[in-house]
Structure 1
Amino acid sequence: MVRVIVDGTPVEVAAGSSALQACEAAGKEIPRFCYHERLSVAGNCRMCLVEVVRAPKPVASCGFPVSDGMEIRTDTETVRRARRAVMEFLLINHPLDCPICDQGGECDLQDQAYGYGSGISRYHEEKRAVTNKDLGPLVKTVMTRCIQCTRCVRFCTEVAGTPELGGISRGENLEISTYVEKALTSELSGNLIDICPVGALTSKPGAFQARPWEMKKADSIDVTDALGTNTVVQVRGGEVKRIVPRVNDEVNEEWLSDKGRFSVDGLKRRRLDRPWVRVHGKRQAVSWQDAFVAIAKRLEGVPGNRIGAIAGDLCDAESLTALRDLMESLGSANLDCRQDGAAYDLSDRSRYTFASGVTGIDEADALLIIGAAPRHDAPVLNARIRKRYLSLGRGKFPIGVIGPQPSDTTWSYEALGEGPDVLASLYDGSHPFCEALRTAEKPMIILGHGALVREDSLAIQAAVRHIAETTGVVKDGWNGLNILHTAASRVAALDLGFVPGQGGRSMRGMLSSGVDVLWLLGADEFPVGGISPETFVIYQGSHGDAAAARADVILPGAAWTEKDGTYVNTEGRVQQAFRAVFPPGEAREDWRIIRAFSEVIDHRLPFDTAEELRARMARINPVFVGGAPASVSQPPFAGSETIMTDRPFRLSRQSYYLTNPVSRASETMAECARVYSVPAAIAAE
């Protein structure tokens, strides 16, 4: 530690810290534009000037290392004059268009000009104008406002891993550009809007819709992937206007994927806002009571083993619990949350979660990826892999990949093969990459969707576990064997036992042999054409997607922004989302719909409030109150005794932007899918 004196206050900071970090440790506010805690130091805005005793002139504190005994002064007349001069230079060419700028109210330049500027300008010449750049359908540019802080350039290069922005020309002619005009290809491009300190980069879909001070805010969780990114939902006039990230260093740091940020317009399109019942082949809008009665009549005389339920990828834990208990009360063990047909080893919770935790990536020093494409499966988690890749240095973080990868990965890797046949040489220890795992202190394996949805999935998982145990991936004090989920509801459903019970059928079984009544809880990601024409289908969800078109009864539910809900991310972290707006029309929270229906059929569920329901969740699995997780039992998977085949791993051909009913309802995501076509590496069969 190094002892530094800041404005007469002694503080201790780590060796190698900057003067700016020392000042912040002492509680001093230092203005800055180019400096960002998660990016490299540029030192080009000069707004963070401070005075260091015995230094000949003010220094840029962001790039000035501290030394023992250094004395820093942050509020002298010299510092104030220097900051006023810097601000005057920054405003020379900046347009005075704050009233029409979407950054107004959240603009660092606006705030710091008021706090540190002089209030006058001695510059009377014409201002420079810069041509706006077309960066694609998500990020709007007004480049005349740009102050060349280069945050966007460093973010694209260092965090997103897509070095598409840079500076061209010099001096007053310097511009931030893609040089050759093209759309940004990163799945994290929306974060440029957050880190831009002025109004040069703003949201194109959300332009001119609301001011920050007009919006109400609610903490929430991003459900477009399984990472559980912490978000803030911002609402104006009863409509969700914006979703932005919330800082959580253990999950998402301060980043958010483009799908989670920009699919917001899908929340108001294709909505189900009233119950519907099919009568003589045509659907009719009905009351809730009539819809419940129609279901109750169809259930009369149907044995429990002829009733089934499938849960979708966006469900909260409360609705999963309610539907599970309803099916149990009807005598049905036909439950499944795996629309993709994935199989898991449910003998221990660590075997179906990201066992090392997301922050474990920051400690890993070797990585083996099997059947996963982190850039598309979880873009924010992929950014953390890149962060570790850069922090250790090129060649010091060996990454091996089994299975296809997009051609534009953000880290270098060694392609080990396309299919499970590579696992044989890893299994017996003869593969060269085994040495990289053995010599690493904290090696890691990520097993992804492409390996979990195969018929030989459990055989693959058993082989990978053996590899992990023999190479030190799993050892005392470290468990680096991780499952990367893609569905936000999956871990919670597995924790709650929303899988086939004793004698129960999986989704494939329900479709192949047929059930008389099938309850779909937001389940839209499986081929509904496989449902028997004789099956009575109940669809409960928020959007009119493919499954709603097949349904005999439609029960309008709430989207995740319209209810309080519990979600469990891929690492098994239990997180809470809060309601930001009310559901449209007659739509209701999903668990309340199921609870109300249970009374109609005289199978009243034993909870009336959200608190009682969460107590029920905790009794099923103590993990929901921070206790030790309960194991989840299920019958052996049909393929558990099979051996691994040589068939190569395949990744989803579905566009990254169209993976759930909300994003498919979004015009912005449809435009993104058009602009960013499915990469050839993924589309290849």
Structure 2
Amino acid sequence: MPKLTIDGREVDVEAGLTILQACQKIGIEIPHFCYHERLSIAGNCRMCLVEMERAPKPVASCAMPVAEGMVIRTNTPKVQQMRRGVMEFLLINHPLDCPICDQGGECDLQDQAIGYGYDRSRYAENKRAVKDKYMGPLVKTIMTRCIHCTRCIRFITEVAGVPELGATGRGEDMEVGTYVEKALTSELSGNIIDLCPVGALTSAPYAFTARSWELRPTESVDVLDAVGSNIRVDTRGPEVMRVLPRVHEDVNEEWVSDKTRFAYDGLKRRRLDRPWVRRDGKLQPATWADAFAVVAQRLKDAGGKRVAAIAGDLADCESMLALKELMTRLRSPNLDCRQDGAKLDPTLRASYLFNTTIAGIERADACLLIGTDPRREAPVLNARLRKRACMGKFPIGVVGPAGDLTYDVQHLGEDPAVIQEIAAGTHPFAEILKQAKNPMLIVGQGALARADGAAILGLARRIAETCGMIGGEAGWNGFNVLHTAAARVGGLDLGFVPRKNGLDLEGILEGAGRGDIDVVYLLGADEIDMRRLGNAFVVYQGHHGDAGAARADVILPGAAYTEKNGTYVNTEGRVQNGRLAVYPPGEAREDWKILRALSDVLGKPLPYNTLGELRARLTKANPVFARVDAMQPAAWGEFGGDGPIERAPFVLPIDNFYLTDPISRASLTMARCSEIFITGELGKTGTDA
């Protein structure tokens, strides 16, 4: 380890670090704009200049590796003068937009100008002006503010893998843009807003709506996919104003998808804020007492086996446990949380988890994707796959529809027979997996939601066992299921699946169509084919007027994920807590409280009155809920089926990334993105900006 002296202190640091990183490790702050720990080094802002003994001129600390015997000075009068000079040059052409800039109050340039800048300007010439660039409906540009740090360019190229940003011109004529005017096509494009150290790139939907000091932050987790990205929900009064990422190295690092970041406007549109009861063929407003009375009477008349329950993709674990226990008291064995009909095995936890873990992807050295498109199903996880691919020596095979995943892959075909060949060891890619030290596979819902999903799950298990994915160093487990629903793993952990002689999703839909099921209770379930419910009496408990509410006979208004304290389990089995940021609108209530109140009306009260008591019950139902934000390896065993495989090609579960759930479907921002990127109705020019 090199030994160097920084401001009179002798320190030992790891080889390969830069001077700036070494200073950060011992608590010395070095101002910088272009440097970012997750991006390549550019060294072009010069704000991090320091003095180095025997160096003929100042050195950029972000780009200079440490070496034995270095003597560094970071806060001498000469260094302070250099910083004032660099800041003065940066501000030469920067407009005085602070009073109207959305970055005001959380701007690196503001902070560093106060801390390190000069108190006056000597520049009297005209300022340079730069035309704003069009980057799509999500990112607003004011390019005259740009200081050419190139963070946005490096992120889009290196992390997002969509090299659509770059710099043209030199010196004072340099401009950052998209070369040809077009919208950024990355599902992670919003992260460049956080990376921009000035106000050149800001959030278009958030523009001119609030100031940072007016907002109340709440730490929570995202539920719009199964990754469980850590987020911060900023609110003002009763309204969610924006959603930002929180750092969690093992889950989302510091990135979130555009849907996570921008779909929040859907939280205030098409909301259910009062109970409704269908009378004379029309939904009419009702009181809670009236709605409960109607539901209770129909449940009592139907009897146990003629009642069924389906949990939706955004349901929290507390509400699923409450509904499961209510169905138990009603003697109904018919319940399912697999809204897409995926043939997942609930009896063995390892069979439905992302066992490698998201952070564990970086340890893998070969990968097989089966019936999944992680770029659209889980963009943040896909960025981790790209990160590993960029390290080199990471062959990736894809069985399923071909697409641009932002990294090089070997497309092995769309025929499920390829999986059989790999499992039998006759396919060339099987040898690649066997030679790898830590191989992994990812099977998606596009493979498991088919009629032969159980057989495909069994084949995936055989591949994991025969290609060395189980065991290995440090208990390596390379078998992974990538879910698309935030509620799926939690529901399976709770056993929200058919009990003995009970009906699964397909059985419930068939039974309702035949008239064998009289009452169907939908807990936020909107992704099923409502036409197959026949004449069944439908109770919909949810927060948006989506497909389930349109079909319902009684609507019980629930709370969205930002309006309740809820527990969610992500695709890797990590238990995380979402927190209440604002209260539900109108007469809507938290979901578990609705079910607790309904159980009283039915005369079958559930045994908890507080969230603490319910969470204790949650832990009793499955001990995994006792360890929040901790990974617990699952035991390996036999799972999956051995039936015949259909020759129909795989179909991906998501055809429109921007409209996958009731919240995003209610969002005008996501509708705009869908028009531009999916349907192409508005094209990709600045005319729709």
TM range (shorter): over 0.9
Q: Is the CA contact (8 Å cut-off) linking 1:349 and 1:629 kept in structure 2? A: no
1:142 maps to amino acid: I
Deviations 1:91-138 (CA, angstroms, capped at 9, x unpaired): 011001100000001110011011000111111100000000111100
2:105 maps to amino acid: G
Q: Distance in 2 between matches of 1:405 and 1:586?
A: 47
Task: Give, in angstroms, the shift of residue 301 of structure 1.
Answer: 3.0
- What is the Cα-based RMSD across aligned positions, in Å? 1.7
Match of 2:564 in 1: 563
Q: Classify the secondary structure of the residue corresponding to 1:301.
A: helix
Q: Distance in 2 between matches of 1:16 and 1:296?
A: 68
Count of aligned positions: 671
Q: Classify the secondary structure of the residue corresponding to 2:380.
A: helix
Q: Distance in 2 between matches of 1:629 and 1:13?
A: 34
Match of 2:102 in 1: 102
Q: Distance in 1 between matches of 2:518 and 2:55?
A: 83
Q: Distance in 2 between matches of 1:59 and 1:630?
A: 50
Q: Classify the secondary structure of the residue corresponding to 1:487.
A: coil
Match of 2:521 in 1: 519
Q: Classify the secondary structure of the residue corresponding to 2:301.
A: coil
- Select 2:465's aligned residue among 461, 465, 469: 469
Q: Distance in 2 between matches of 1:333 and 1:465?
A: 29
- Select 1:438's aligned residue among 434, 440, 461: 434
1:322 pairs with 2:328 = no
Deviations 1:141-188 (CA, angstroms, capped at 9, x unpaired): 000000000000000000000000000011100000111100000000
1:402 pairs with 2:404 = no
Q: Distance in 2 between matches of 1:198 and 1:153?
A: 15
2:608 maps to amino acid: F
Task: Give, in angstroms, the shift of residue 461 of structure 1.
Answer: 1.3
Q: Distance in 2 between matches of 1:591 and 1:21?
A: 48
Are residues 429 and 263 of structure 1, via their aligned partners in 2, closer, same or farther at CA, if it must alter by over 3 Å? same
Q: Distance in 1 between matches of 2:334 and 2:5?
A: 67
Q: Classify the secondary structure of the residue corresponding to 2:567.
A: strand
Match of 1:682 in 2: none
Q: Distance in 2 between matches of 1:301 and 1:270?
A: 32
Match of 1:487 in 2: 485
Q: Distance in 1 between matches of 2:27 and 2:232?
A: 27
2:563 maps to amino acid: E
1:584 maps to amino acid: P
Q: Is the CA contact (8 Å cut-off) linking 1:368 and 1:444 kept in structure 2? A: yes
2:314 maps to amino acid: L
Deviations 1:361-417 (CA, angstroms, capped at 9, x unpaired): 11111111010001000000000111111122xxx21110000132x3200010111
1:416 pairs with 2:417 = no
Task: Give, in angstroms, the shift of residue 630 of structure 1.
Answer: 9.3
Q: Distance in 2 between matches of 1:118 and 1:452?
A: 62
TM-score (norm 1): 0.96
Within-5 A mapping of 1:501-580: 501-514=499-512, 515-533=517-535, 535-580=536-581
Task: Give, in angstroms, the shift of residue 348 of structure 1.
Answer: 1.9
Within-5 A mapping of 1:158-557: 158-392=158-392, 396-406=393-403, 408-476=404-472, 477-514=475-512, 515-533=517-535, 535-557=536-558
Deviations 1:576-610 (CA, angstroms, capped at 9, x unpaired): 11100000000000000000110011100001111
Q: Distance in 2 between matches of 1:489 and 1:505?
A: 20
Q: Distance in 2 between matches of 1:283 and 1:423?
A: 49
More displaced stretch, 548-557 vs 337-346: 337-346
Task: Give, in angstroms, the shift of residue 465 of structure 1.
Answer: 1.1
Q: Distance in 2 between matches of 1:630 and 1:31?
A: 45
Q: Is the CA contact (8 Å cut-off) linking 2:291 and 2:554 kept in structure 1? A: yes
Q: Distance in 2 between matches of 1:160 and 1:301?
A: 55
Match of 2:621 in 1: 620
Structure 2 segments unaligned to the other structure (5+ residues): 681-689
Q: Classify the secondary structure of the residue corresponding to 2:521.
A: strand
More displaced stretch, 163-172 vs 472-481: 472-481
Task: Give, in angstroms, the shift of residue 4 of structure 1.
Answer: 2.4
1:480 maps to amino acid: G
Q: Distance in 2 between matches of 1:641 and 1:447?
A: 17
Q: Is the CA contact (8 Å cut-off) linking 1:6 and 1:26 kept in structure 2? A: no
Q: Distance in 1 between matches of 2:29 and 2:97?
A: 27
Task: Give, in angstroms, the shift of residue 641 of structure 1.
Answer: 5.2
Deviations 1:483-536 (CA, angstroms, capped at 9, x unpaired): 000000000000000011101101111111221011000000111111112x11
Q: Is the CA contact (8 Å cut-off) linking 1:621 and 1:629 kept in structure 2? A: no
Aligned-pair identity in percent equals 60
Q: Distance in 1 between matches of 2:300 and 2:497?
A: 24
Q: Is the CA contact (8 Å cut-off) linking 2:242 and 2:264 kept in structure 1? A: yes
Q: Distance in 1 between matches of 2:220 and 2:636?
A: 27
1:519 maps to amino acid: Y
Q: Is the CA contact (8 Å cut-off) linking 1:541 and 1:556 kept in structure 2? A: yes
Task: Give, in angstroms, the shift of residue 652 of structure 1.
Answer: 3.2
1:62 maps to amino acid: C
Are residues 455 and 555 of structure 1, via their aligned partners in 2, closer, same or farther at CA, if it must alter by over 3 Å? same
Match of 1:126 in 2: 126
2:177 maps to amino acid: S
2:468 maps to amino acid: G
1:173 maps to amino acid: D
Q: Is the CA contact (8 Å cut-off) linking 2:355 and 2:634 kept in structure 1? A: no
1:647 pairs with 2:648 = yes
Task: Give, in angstroms, the shift of residue 429 of structure 1.
Answer: 1.0
Match of 1:683 in 2: none
Q: Is the CA contact (8 Å cut-off) linking 1:276 and 1:291 kept in structure 2? A: yes
Q: Is the CA contact (8 Å cut-off) linking 1:366 and 1:398 kept in structure 2? A: yes
Q: Is the CA contact (8 Å cut-off) linking 2:350 and 2:634 kept in structure 1? A: no
Q: Distance in 2 between matches of 1:51 and 1:663?
A: 52
Q: Is the CA contact (8 Å cut-off) linking 2:664 and 2:670 kept in structure 1? A: yes
Give the 4+ runs in structure 1 shifted more than 4 A: 627-633
Q: Classify the secondary structure of the residue corresponding to 1:249.
A: coil
Match of 2:606 in 1: 605
Q: Distance in 1 between matches of 2:615 and 2:199?
A: 43
Task: Give, in angstroms, the shift of residue 644 of structure 1.
Answer: 1.1
Task: Give, in angstroms, the shift of residue 455 of structure 1.
Answer: 1.0
Q: Distance in 2 between matches of 1:190 and 1:630?
A: 35
2:479 maps to amino acid: L
Q: Distance in 2 between matches of 1:258 and 1:347?
A: 35
2:141 maps to amino acid: T
Task: Give, in angstroms, the shift of residue 567 of structure 1.
Answer: 0.5
Task: Give, in angstroms, the shift of residue 302 of structure 1.
Answer: 1.9
Q: Distance in 1 between matches of 2:305 and 2:70?
A: 76
Q: Classify the secondary structure of the residue corresponding to 1:511.
A: helix
Task: Give, in angstroms, the shift of residue 678 of structure 1.
Answer: 5.7
Q: Is the CA contact (8 Å cut-off) linking 2:377 and 2:654 kept in structure 1? A: no
Q: Distance in 2 between matches of 1:549 and 1:186?
A: 33
Q: Classify the secondary structure of the residue corresponding to 1:300.
A: helix
Task: Give, in angstroms, the shift of residue 631 of structure 1.
Answer: 9.3
Q: Distance in 1 between matches of 2:263 and 2:301?
A: 43
Task: Give, in angstroms, the shift of residue 424 of structure 1.
Answer: 2.1
Q: Distance in 2 between matches of 1:105 and 1:86?
A: 22
Q: Distance in 1 between matches of 2:510 and 2:4?
A: 71
Q: Distance in 1 between matches of 2:539 and 2:634?
A: 31
2:562 maps to amino acid: T
Match of 2:584 in 1: 583
2:318 maps to amino acid: E
Within-5 A mapping of 1:133-148: 133-148=133-148
Q: Classify the secondary structure of the residue corresponding to 1:353.
A: coil
